[in-house]
């Protein structure tokens, strides 16, 4: 059966194309792109934007070990709801993903689900203890696309040097969570005027910045690439910019909350504003935006970190770090970056698709002929208010509940299968949402 997505405004970051076009899909791959295409069934995308499915290289799906927060299945449905068709799952599960068997477990669960592409990241050190290196060649062989001890930095510079050397030799990217934990210990939000006013212990920005600097220097020493996760501060952006100028092979990501919110917006000790690294200040937002504009920051990731209501419903200092992000990703990009004119829609889509795909070296983020038909269709202009019952994720720990965002995902296809379609998309006869993605949040 040939599916044609008709009359949409197609944005293809690989070729730079941005204009009205149809897209033909056969056997799960893109078979043609052009005007007036015919097919067996068609999806009308008139008035909508059609892009490659988004690629989020930083999510926590919590399985195995913390299935009350999220599972691979519920995380995948949340992804489809947010227009995300490829994710990299972090390995800080229980037990952690630090051997080939555990990587295979995630790969198998993802295959059984038959939905979005789920690429596991595996631990860089055994048990995430920062001491002994994992068998990265085996991990890569089993399907891991990156190594990281995300949630923690690697304390020992000597161990990190060896991690970088080995990862570089094996050809698997290292994703760096940059934090001096001796300096951040006990802190619950950014250290500054806002933390002083609220009487909450602070995390100084230097805890992140000194480690971005150290970790990049060690990558240079090891002559290996490094990817800096969740950059939040002005100085952090400057360090990365300088390193790129020096020719060090560093890439970086930031997350929507770091340009949408500041620490001064933490009100009523709302623990859905608590994440690590923490929300920073106005001038940091400015620097993050400039970093996205000039390519210092290569891509946008969500750091989707679900926690149950019970876990978050405690005093701010005791609440776990982390917020969900997959389902508000597009709304934050359009409202916070595109509508104010900081980024063109084309550049924003590049940061959500082609660039992250390149970092982890997967065949995604493009609408080229012959690639898997991973496609997101969205309304660029629709404003909507985030509500607690909006989320397909098992958790709804979002700081954006009650916030009006702009840009709404209407339909998500992965390998030509419809994984999400909202009421505005009339699916033709013969086309329906894949059974494992038919989603009523109360049934998950
Ligand atoms: Zn992290």
- The model's pLDDT over 362-419, given as tens digits with 9 standing for 90+, comes to 999 999 999 999 999 999 999 999 999 999 999 999 999 999 999 999 999 999 999 9
Point out the catalytic residue in the list 298, 303, 422, 440: 303
Statement: residue 441 has pLDDT above 90: no
Q: How far is the CA of 15 from the centre of ligand 1 (A)?
A: 32
Mean pLDDT of 157-161: 98
Q: How confident is the model at residue 105 (pLDDT cuts 50, 70, 90)?
A: very high
Mean pLDDT of the chain: 96
Residue 172 has, within 13 A of its CA and on its CB side, a CA count of 25
Q: Which of 327, 230, 325 is nearest to 276 (CA)?
A: 230
Quote the radius of gyration of the chain (alpha carbons, Å). 21
Q: How confident is the model at residue 423 (pLDDT cuts 50, 70, 90)?
A: confident
Statement: residue 440 has pLDDT above 70: no
Q: Are 353 and 65 in contact (CB under 8 A)?
A: no
Q: How far is the CA of 383 from the centre of ligand 1 (A)?
A: 30
Q: How confident is the model at residue 444 (pLDDT cuts 50, 70, 90)?
A: very low
Q: How far is the CA of 380 from the centre of ligand 1 (A)?
A: 30
Q: How far is the CA of 276 from the centre of ligand 1 (A)?
A: 7
Q: How far is the CA of 11 from the centre of ligand 1 (A)?
A: 31
Q: Side by side, which strands form the sheet with 250-254?
A: 175-176, 226-228, 250-254, 299-300
Mean pLDDT of 320-332: 98
Q: Are 188 and 241 in contact (CB under 8 A)?
A: no
Which distant-in-sequence residues (6+ apart) come within 8 Å of 295 by Cβ?
A: none
Q: What is the pLDDT of residue 25?
A: 98
The DSSP element (H or E) to which 136 belongs, if any, is helix 136-142
The answer to whether 40 is a known catalytic residue is no
Q: How far is the CA of 231 from the centre of ligand 1 (A)?
A: 10
Q: How far is the CA of 229 from the centre of ligand 1 (A)?
A: 6
Mean pLDDT of 435-440: 78
Cα torsion 87, 93, 98, 99 to 10°: value is -80
Q: How confident is the model at residue 349 (pLDDT cuts 50, 70, 90)?
A: very high
Q: Are 59 and 304 in contact (CB under 8 A)?
A: yes
| Angle formed at CA 319 by CA 313 and CA 322, multiple of 5 degrees | 105
């Amino acid at each position: 059966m040939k599916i044609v997505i008709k009359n949409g405004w197609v944005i293809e970051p690989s070729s730079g194309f941005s204009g009205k076009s149809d897209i033909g899909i056969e056997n799960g791959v893109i078979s043609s792109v052009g005007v007036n295409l015919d097919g067996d069934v068609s999806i009308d995308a008139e008035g909508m934007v059609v892009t490659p499915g988004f690629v989020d290289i930083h999510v926590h799906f919590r399985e195995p070990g913390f299935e009350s927060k999220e599972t691979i299945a519920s995380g995948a449905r949340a992804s489809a709801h947010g227009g995300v068709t490829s994710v990299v799952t972090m390995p800080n599960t229980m037990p952690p993903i630090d051997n080939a068997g555990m990587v295979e477990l995630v790969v198998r669960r993802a295959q059984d689900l038959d939905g979005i592409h789920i690429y596991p990241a595996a631990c860089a050190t055994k048990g995430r203890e920062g001491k002994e290196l994992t068998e990265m060649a085996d991990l890569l062989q089993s399907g891991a696309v990156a190594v990281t001890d995300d949630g923690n930095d690697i304390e020992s510079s000597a161990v990190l040097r060896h991690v970088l050397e080995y990862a570089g030799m094996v050809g698997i990217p290292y994703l760096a969570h940059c934090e001096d934990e001796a300096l951040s210990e006990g802190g619950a939000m950014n250290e500054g005027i806002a933390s002083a006013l609220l009487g909450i212990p602070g995390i100084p920005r230097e805890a992140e910045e000194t480690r971005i600097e150290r970790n990049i220097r060690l990558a240079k020493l090891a002559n290996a690439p490094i990817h800096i996760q969740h950059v939040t501060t002005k100085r952090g952006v400057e360090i990365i910019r300088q390193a790129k100028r020096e020719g060090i092979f560093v890439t970086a990501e930031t997350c929507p909350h770091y340009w949408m919110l500041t620490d001064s917006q933490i009100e009523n000790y709302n623990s859905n504003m608590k994440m690590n690294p923490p929300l920073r200040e106005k001038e940091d937002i400015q620097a993050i935006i400039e970093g996205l504009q000039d390519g210092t920051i290569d891509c946008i990731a969500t750091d989707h970190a679900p926690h149950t209501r019970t876990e978050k419903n405690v005093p701010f200092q005791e609440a776990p770090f982390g917020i969900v992000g997959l389902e508000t990703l597009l709304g934050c990009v359009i409202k916070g970056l595109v509508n104010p004119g900081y980024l063109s829609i084309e550049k924003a889509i590049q940061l959500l698709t082609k660039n992250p795909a390149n970092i982890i070296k997967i065949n995604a983020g493009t609408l080229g002929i012959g690639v898997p038909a991973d496609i997101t269709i969205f309304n660029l202009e629709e404003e909507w208010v985030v509500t607690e019952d909006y989320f397909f994720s098992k958790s709804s720990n979002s700081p954006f509940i009650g916030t009006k965002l702009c840009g709404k995902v209407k339909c998500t296809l992965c390998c030509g299968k419809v994984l999400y379609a909202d009421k505005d998309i009339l699916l033709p006869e013969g086309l329906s949402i894949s059974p494992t993605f038919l989603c009523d949040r109360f049934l998950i």
